[in-house]
Structure 1
Amino acid sequence: MGVAGCGKSSVGTALAEQLGVRFVEGDRYHSPENVAKMSAGVPLTDGDRLHWLASLQGEIRDSVQRGEGIVVACSALKRRYRDLLREGAPGLRFAHLDGTRELIAARMDARVGHYMPLSLLDSQFAALEALQPDEPGIVLDIGEEVPQLVGRIAPPA
């Protein structure tokens, strides 16, 4: 979890590979309307996100019911979003990829072909609610390299 540009896809892909489980890129579950809105620099509302989060919750629930592991890259910026995702799997854990606005802005500026414009970064930070003590998860500094972050999420046996 985390704001746009924090490395969710890179870390999630590497984590899923290490664990031998399926990786789900949450951005691919946004409706065309949501993508158009974000591409135009308009922040999504809670209502805009509801169907998207429900779709991801379904993917998580289905994986759990099949007895399969899953790693999902999803901003999950607010507690209520994470609560909704946890309804699909009560034991769901979150890895919050945290970093400075400056570092994340530089990463967003350097990436090619993504619909999320840098102009929405401040709205992402404004919406972000930190993991609460009763939420299973870990907060990680994105100044570390991907292999170190993956190792902190799932230490090698």
Structure 2
Amino acid sequence: MSPDGRDSGRGPVVVMGVSGSGKSTVGAALAQRLRAPFADADDFHPAANVAKMTAGHALDDDDRRPWLEALGIWLADHEEGGVMTCSALKRAYRDQLRAHAPQTAFVHLHGDRGVIARRQATRPGHFMPASLLDSQFATLEPLDDDEHGFVVDVDQSVDAIVEQVAGHLSPPGVG
């Protein structure tokens, strides 16, 4: 624990998954549990990206590139520990983030389409319309064996997810 009471030395964590998987809720709770800074990647999108998604159009890689660069810089600035939520659906996106912060751990919040669709239905007003859920699942590239991270089933309470993730991130005997 650092002098300011923050848990340090863990490296940054990205809570990833499709829209509606609970990234923001879990990420904020995890950051609180770890006493680490928190950032939601959605807050880094330029207005043009938000307008495009609000209109029901998926972003392309050219739209994402500068956004991912900004996220990577945030992760690098929090190399002693920070929690960020980001869809990070493709390996290439995760690689771009790791180029800035190689020690980043990825927590993939995974659930079947029915569970995610029900969750999306309960969050009116979010700029990512439910109509883009299929494109998110089509784009999703699960973590490869050589990527630092793990998968967590979203069909459980936020507290249970956070405890599971914190246990994975903490060295044995620390928690």
TM-score normalised per structure 1: 0.95
Partner deviation per Cα, 1:30-85 (whole Å, 9 max, x = no partner): 11010000000001101111111100000011122xxx411000000000100111
Q: Indicate the residue corresponding to 2:108 in structure 1.
A: 96
CA distance in 2, matches of 1:46, 1:109: 27
Name the counterpart of 2:45: 30
Higher Cα radius of gyration = 2
Shift of 1:147: 1.0
Alignment gaps of 5+ in structure 1: none
Q: Which residue of 2 aligns with 1:115?
A: 127
Structure 2 residue 159 is matched with structure 1 residue 147: yes
Within 2, Cα distance between the matches of 1:85 and 1:151? Answer: 25
Provide the aligned C-alpha RMSD in A.
Answer: 0.9
Is 1:125 aligned with 2:140? Answer: no
Q: Give 1 or 2: higher helix fraction.
A: 1
SS at match of 2:109: strand
Counterpart residue number, 2:72: 57
Secondary structure class of the residue paired with 2:78: helix
- Whole-Å separation in 2 of the counterparts to 1:147 and 1:44: 32
Partner Cα distance (1:128, 1:26) in 2: 17
The answer to whether residue 87 in structure 2 is matched with residue 75 in structure 1 is yes
Counterpart residue type for residue 67 of structure 2: W
Distance 2:63 2:137 in 1: 18
Q: Indicate the residue corresponding to 2:58 in structure 1.
A: 43
Provide the aligned length of Structure 1 versus Structure 2.
Answer: 154
Question: 1:6-50: CA deviations, max 9, x gaps?
Answer: 000011001000110111011011110100000000011011111
Q: Distance in 1 between matches of 2:100 and 2:29?
A: 23
In 2, the alpha carbon distance for the partners of 1:83 and 1:126 equals 19
Deviation at 1:90, TM superposition (A): 1.0
What is the deviation of 1:112? Answer: 2.4
Percent sequence identity over matched residues? 51
Aligned to 1:6: 21
Displacement, 1:98?
0.4
Q: Give distance in 1, aligned partners of 2:20 and 2:56.
A: 15
> Residue deviations 1:75-131, cap 9 Å, x none?
000001001111121111100000011111111111022100000000000100010
Q: Which runs of 5+ in 2 are unaligned?
A: 1-15, 168-173
Which residue of 121, 136, 149 maps to 1:137?
149
Shift >3 Å, 4+ stretches: none
